[in-house]
Amino acid sequence: MKQRRRIYYSETQRAEIWDRWKRGESQGSIGKRFDRASSSIYTVLCPTGGIRPVPRKRAETSLTLSEREEISRGLSAKQSIRWIAKQLNRSPSTISREIQRNGGIRAYRAAKADKLAWERAHRPKPCKLAMNNELRDAVSIKLELEWSPQQISGWLRREYPENDGMQVSHETIYKTLFIQARGALKKELQQHLRSKRAIRRSLHAGKEYNKPGQIPDMVSIRERPGSAEDRALPGHWEGDLIAGSNNSYIATLVERQTRYVMLLKVADRKTETVINALIEHAKRLPDELYKSLAWDRGKEMTDHKRFTLATDIKVYFCDPSSPWQRGSNENTNRLLRQYFPKRTDLSIHSQEHLDMIARRLNERPRQTLNFETPAERFDACVAATA
């Protein structure tokens, strides 16, 4: 069998690969565009961790190839350095240094000098995490606690407001994790990221939505009170089920204003099971902190009217294929997949373990809360109702 020649992508092709990757296309889809396997695309993306490299460019003050050719011609004609400098409108010292760095008057060659200058100019800026041991250790500790880079960055700004040396952007943390050539953070720390991917993916990469079920007497989420929509008052929750193997499920609940998370162990997704669990959970909260519940159109909420009769909590349902209407809950479910990966048995987790995971999420600072934690915000609401 004849083996294919190794492909070398041109700069134009590489630019197209990065454009398609940014738009959210898979490696397989991009590979088909070039009639190559996905592994061929991976070799382009992997060296920089899926993060598009910044194109290199020359400084405006640098000598150009055409100027170096003029220098070479001037030397061949035995012109003086001052005469060459005058022709190029450059300082004589600039021309002198250029010649001395690249073989001297007898050995100077324009093309070789230009190539060497380009190579010498490649001096990447030292990584901040590699230069500051205290900062690197702080970031590593928080990553091991499953904090996201954005949460770590926000916490550092709050913890060290007057110390720029102990602050770092979330993008720098991501780049340091995915570009191992920086050598600051251990590769093993990637396993503490929620996605556990080896390279960075686009925000537009494939999104999955649950199929809607048929629920009798549904009340649209569009009829939810304005105080719930603008998060002005606490007590409005969003809920859903996350599924695992062997028909195992966990009910997830998020309070809209504080982003406080609660997890419920359920034996199955039968409406009786789920409604009973939600009724029991509602009894644990003050009435002022549980006024409404938004859910998707899953059939587990078929008996929602019984829940409302037992708790006096109104249930609102999202429009078909509109998970963004429960944005806080959708985001939380994505975070939870770090602890409960898809296609794993969720029934093995006890309620105590679920409470521990919820506590971890609630004790993480959130950017949308000005890097306070959901626990801090929710405790303040509980105190206000006492």
Using an 8 Å Cβ cutoff, are 187 and 180 in contact?
yes
- State whether 174 and 306 are in the same domain: no
Using an 8 Å Cβ cutoff, are 103 and 133 in contact?
no
Residue 53 located in a structural domain: no
283: how many CB neighbours lie within 10 A of its CB?
9
- State whether 115 and 132 are in the same domain: no
Higher pLDDT, 84 or 55: 84
- State whether 172 and 303 are in the same domain: no
Split at pLDDT 50, 70, 90, the class of 6 is low
At 247-275, the pLDDT tens digits run: 899 999 999 999 999 999 999 999 999 99
Split at pLDDT 50, 70, 90, the class of 10 is confident
Name the percent of the chain lying above pLDDT 90.
Answer: 45
- State whether 231 and 326 are in the same domain: yes
Range of the domain at 153: 128-192
- Among residues 361, 360, 385, 370, the alpha carbon closest in space to that of 233 is found at 385
Residue 182 located in a structural domain: yes
Using an 8 Å Cβ cutoff, are 332 and 254 in contact?
yes
Does the pLDDT at position 213 exceed 80?
no
At 185-209, the pLDDT tens digits run: 777 787 777 766 667 776 666 544 3
Alpha carbon 121 to its chain centroid, in Å, reads: 31
At 87-102, the pLDDT tens digits run: 999 999 999 999 999 9
Residue 344 located in a structural domain: yes
Residue finishing a domain among 192, 208, 239: 192
Does the pLDDT at position 1 exceed 60?
no
Residue 198 located in a structural domain: no
Residues 195 and 377: their CA atoms lie apart, in Å, by 27
Report strand pairing: 261-266 vs 292-295. Answer: unpaired
User: Average pLDDT, stretch 67-85?
Assistant: 92
- Among residues 226, 232, 274, 224, the alpha carbon closest in space to that of 249 is found at 274
Using an 8 Å Cβ cutoff, are 111 and 64 in contact?
no
CA atoms within 13 A on the CB side of 252: 27
Total domain count, the chain? 4
User: Average pLDDT, stretch 73-100?
Assistant: 92
Per-residue tokens: 94: 């600039």
User: Average pLDDT, stretch 304-312?
Assistant: 93
pLDDT at 183: 61
- State whether 133 and 29 are in the same domain: no
At 273-306, the pLDDT tens digits run: 999 999 999 998 988 899 999 999 888 999 999 9
Residue 146 located in a structural domain: yes
pTM: 0.52
pLDDT at 372: 93
Name the percent of the chain lying above pLDDT 70.
Answer: 91
pLDDT at 15: 87
pLDDT at 209: 36
- Residue 377 CA: distances (Å) to CA of 259, 357, 368, 380, 383: 9, 18, 12, 5, 10
Does the pLDDT at position 356 exceed 90?
yes
Does the pLDDT at position 240 exceed 80?
yes
Q: What is the DSSP letter of 212?
A: P
- State whether 142 and 278 are in the same domain: no
Alpha carbon 250 to its chain centroid, in Å, reads: 25
- State whether 236 and 339 are in the same domain: yes
- State whether 36 and 146 are in the same domain: no
Higher pLDDT, 38 or 211: 38
- State whether 336 and 254 are in the same domain: yes
pLDDT at 196: 66
CATH of the domain at 270: 3.30.420.10
> Which long-range CB contacts under 8 A does 327-331 form with residues at least 24 apart?
327/238, 328/238, 328/254, 328/256, 328/259, 329/238, 329/239, 329/240, 329/252, 329/253, 329/254, 329/294, 330/240
Burial-class residue 340 by CB neighbours within 10 Å (0-12, 13-18, 19+): buried
Higher pLDDT, 50 or 112: 112
Using an 8 Å Cβ cutoff, are 184 and 138 in contact?
no
pLDDT at 156: 93
Using an 8 Å Cβ cutoff, are 170 and 152 in contact?
yes
Using an 8 Å Cβ cutoff, are 89 and 95 in contact?
no
